[in-house]
Amino acid sequence: MKVIDKDLATDERLTRLAELARLGLTSPLVAVTIDKLYDHEITEAQNKLSELEADLAEFEAQYEMSSDDFSQRFQDGMMGDEMNYVEWSSLVQMANNLRKRLELLTKETLL
């Protein structure tokens, strides 16, 4: 009998831990560990988003345009494909992904 299945995917392990928690069958250590991991994920995402927003602000100042306006124009093919535009577009995407991540973790809408 295999006690620990190291081949289980992370999502499956989390699903099993969630089920144990629903049933009240986890140890206090599991709850403390999950709380710390959860807080860590939020902090890391907030820190990275702050860095990206500072980078976006530099582009916005340089081109005198909001990232939202730029992104729409870039997607519509109105901005060309200069390296700065490609980088700016990538930063917008990464910031949007982090906002979605934080929304999921905190259940707050981040504009």
Q: pLDDT tens string for the chain (111 positions)?
A: 455 666 788 899 989 999 999 999 999 999 899 999 999 999 999 999 999 999 999 999 999 999 999 999 999 999 988 999 999 999 999 999 999 999 999 987 666
Q: pTM of this prediction?
A: 0.80
- Kindly state whether residue 40 falls inside one of the protein's structural domains: yes
Q: Is 81 a domain residue?
A: yes
Q: Does the residue 5 lie in any domain?
A: no
Phi and psi torsions of 109, nearest 5°: -80, 125
Q: What is the largest CA-CA distance in the chain?
A: 65
Residue 38 token pair: 């959860």
Give how many domains the chain has, as a whole number: 1
User: Which residues lie below 8 Å from residue 18, measured CB to CB, with a gap of 6+?
Assistant: none
Which H helix or E strand runs over 106? Answer: helix 83-106
